[in-house]
């Protein structure tokens, strides 16, 4: 570890506070956060109560009316660019905190998470003055213009898999339009966000109350969802929690809700897959990198009968070659799962697959590493073959390093299997036939379809699921609709 990384770990040990109205507010209650790679305590973090949340919401409301909400678009853009630049300048320290709280490899934190976390502020800074209104062609004697306004105070609830990146996916577009926010990181992963707020605070990037951070578990998320003075909630997490968020909105003030939920992404490998080795390599990497804790990761590989054996053999070799280890080991490919509950959930699914008679091609056990990592939450990368689509491992989101192989005999069966899921976040297909690519992409019931390269992302392209994978979109122009409301103004001129 470098000195900077060690300093980040030292910083995390001190008792943390919520960031409310530009102040670090000593909490009334605390909980203990753990490092999942070693299963040892990191330090104490606030468990926010109603009174503290009320203060955060009131600070956000005040900044919306009297602070950030009144900034000119140019001032907002400058602040967003500065916010991204500060993240960029501290990327090593922040990456170390992500690894500490989440268990992923340091290389993944630094190279996968950090660049987008900083750069998306530049993208949304560009949108501050480009999200135009409209005029409607109404009857003579009237002008009808349609303006887009900020929603107000947004509650942002974040999961643990990309703790800083997914927080910024919401913070940047919300602030870009003049909203103010109350953010709750996952109880497992609060550190990278808290440290970022310290850095922004020291540089005076945002006026007090613009971004408030309240820490804690699902009970705090529920207080946010039910809060009568929060105008909107944007949530990323599990489908089960997403349903509770919708209920919370209905039971309180009907705040608008955006949901980015679970997935069970299939990838179809047709017999004419253009470069089969490249396709296998890509699917392998997207399925097993970040220890399989990615909502869009391919979890079901649907393979044409004629190439099933080849794919199965090559994928098995690849998975058996994965090295799990110390998140700072340059040779390691897989770090620790994010927390004990997630580790137990994954192991439960692996056991259920074995019991149900799926063919275990690789892995299948928990892993005990030597030395300080011996109690860490490590799972052998696992591969099941010939999996019946009715098994739990084929139907439910595992969110770990577990991939299943299934076969199909024709296009119709492939599409049926693809859509036979409650989820609709992402799907992929590989074929050399352009007509089939369009036909199948159109038939797939998912918010993102990747043809001949699984897993493409760009700030300009909308990200979000169909069915029980969510409501609304992140990224691109589409996310701006989620953080704005449309007002129709009529002017009579006769």
Catalytic residue numbers? 260
Site string for ligand NAD, 219-238 (x = CB under 6 A): --xx--x----------xxx
Q: CB-wise, 160 or 483, nearer to ligand NAD?
A: 160
Site string for ligand NAD, 23-62 (x = CB under 6 A): ----------------------------------------
Applying CB under 6 A, among 184, 232, 264, 282 the residue interacting with ligand NAD is 184
Residue 399 binds ligand NAD, judged by CB under 6 A: yes
Stretch that binds ligand NAD, among 29-37, 85-93, 256-264, 476-484 (CB under 6 A): 256-264
Applying CB under 6 A, among 159, 298, 364, 476 the residue interacting with ligand NAD is 159
Site string for ligand NAD, 66-95 (x = CB under 6 A): ------------------------------
Q: CB-wise, 109 or 128, nearer to ligand NAD?
A: 109
Ranked by CB distance to ligand NAD, the top (closest) residue is: 221
Query: Smallest distance, Å, CB 472 to ligand NAD?
Result: 10
Applying CB under 6 A, among 22, 46, 67, 262 the residue interacting with ligand NAD is 262
Q: CB-wise, 115 or 218, nearer to ligand NAD?
A: 218
Query: Smallest distance, Å, CB 293 to ligand NAD?
Result: 7
Residue 113 binds ligand NAD, judged by CB under 6 A: no
Residue 396 binds ligand NAD, judged by CB under 6 A: no
Applying CB under 6 A, among 160, 377, 378, 408 the residue interacting with ligand NAD is 160
Do 94 and 159 touch, CB atoms closer than 8 A?
no
Residue 128 binds ligand NAD, judged by CB under 6 A: no
Query: Smallest distance, Å, CB 233 to ligand NAD?
Result: 8
Whole-number Å distance between alpha carbons of 474 and 460: 10
Applying CB under 6 A, among 55, 187, 396, 411 the residue interacting with ligand NAD is 187
Query: Smallest distance, Å, CB 243 to ligand NAD?
Result: 9
Stretch that binds ligand NAD, among 28-36, 200-208, 218-226, 300-308 (CB under 6 A): 218-226
Stretch that binds ligand NAD, among 72-80, 136-144, 179-187, 352-360 (CB under 6 A): 179-187
Total residues binding ligand NAD (CB under 6 A) = 30
Which 277-296 positions form the footprint of ligand NAD (CB under 6 A)? 295
Query: Smallest distance, Å, CB 141 to ligand NAD?
Result: 47
Give me the residue label for tokens 């600070």: 59
Sheet holding 484-492: strands in order across?
134-136, 142-150, 484-492
Query: Smallest distance, Å, CB 257 to ligand NAD?
Result: 11
Do 171 and 200 touch, CB atoms closer than 8 A?
no
Interacting residue ranges for ligand NAD, rule: CB under 6 A: 157-161, 166, 184, 186-187, 217-218, 221-222, 225, 236-238, 241, 244-245, 260-263, 295, 397, 399, 425, 465, 470
């Amino acid at each position: 570890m470098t000195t900077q990384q060690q300093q980040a770990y030292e910083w995390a040990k001190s008792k943390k506070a919520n960031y409310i109205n530009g102040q670090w507010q000593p909490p009334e209650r605390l909980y203990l956060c753990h490092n999942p790679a070693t299963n040892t305590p990191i330090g104490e973090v606030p468990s926010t109560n109603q009174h503290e949340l009320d203060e955060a919401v009131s600070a956000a409301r005040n900044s919306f009316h009297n602070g950030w909400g009144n900034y000119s678009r140019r001032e907002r853009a400058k602040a967003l660019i500065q916010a991204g630049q500060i993240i960029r300048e501290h990327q090593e320290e922040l990456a170390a905190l992500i690894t500490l709280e989440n268990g992923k490899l340091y290389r993944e934190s630094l190279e996968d998470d950090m660049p987008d976390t900083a750069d998306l502020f530049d993208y949304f800074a560009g949108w501050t003055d480009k999200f135009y209104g409209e005029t409607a062609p109404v009857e003579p004697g009237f002008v009808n213009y349609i303006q887009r306004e900020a929603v107000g105070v947004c509650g942002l609830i974040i999961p643990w898999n990309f703790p800083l990146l997914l927080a910024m996916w919401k913070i940047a577009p919300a602030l870009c339009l003049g909203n103010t926010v109350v953010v709750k990181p996952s109880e497992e992963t609060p550190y990278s966000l808290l440290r970022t707020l310290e850095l922004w605070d020291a540089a005076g990037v945002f006026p007090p109350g613009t971004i408030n951070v309240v820490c804690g578990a699902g009970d705090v998320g529920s207080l946010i969802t039910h809060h009568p003075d929060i105008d909107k909630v944007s949530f990323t997490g599990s489908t089960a929690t997403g349903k509770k968020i919708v209920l919370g909105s209905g039971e309180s003030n009907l705040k608008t809700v955006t949901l980015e939920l679970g997935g069970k992404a299939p990838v179809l490998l047709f017999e004419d897959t253009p470069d089969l080795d490249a396709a296998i390599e890509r699917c392998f990497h997207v399925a097993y990198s970040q220890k399989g804790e990615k909502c869009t990761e391919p979890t079901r590989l649907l393979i044409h009968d004629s190439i099933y054996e080849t794919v199965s053999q090559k994928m098995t070799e690849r998975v058996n070659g994965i090295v799990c280890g110390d998140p700072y080991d340059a040779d390691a490919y897989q770090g620790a799962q994010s927390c004990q509950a997630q580790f137990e959930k994954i192991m439960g699914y692996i056991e259920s697959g074995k019991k149900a008679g799926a063919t275990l091609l690789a892995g299948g056990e928990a892993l005990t590493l030597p030395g300080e990592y011996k109690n860490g939450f490590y799972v052998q990368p696992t591969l099941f073959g010939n999996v019946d689509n009715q098994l739990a491992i084929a139907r439910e989101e595992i969110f770990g390093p577990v991939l299943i192989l299934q076969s199909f005999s024709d296009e119709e069966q492939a599409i049926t299997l693809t859509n036979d899921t409650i989820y609709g976040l992402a799907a992929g297909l590989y074929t050399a036939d352009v007509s089939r690519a369009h036909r199948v992409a159109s038939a797939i019931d998912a918010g993102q379809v990747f043809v001949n390269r699984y897993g493409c992302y760009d700030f300009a392209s909308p990200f979000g699921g169909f069915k029980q994978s969510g409501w609304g979109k992140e990224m691109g122009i589409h996310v701006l609709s989620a953080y704005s409301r449309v007002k129709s103004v009529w002017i009579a001129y006769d």
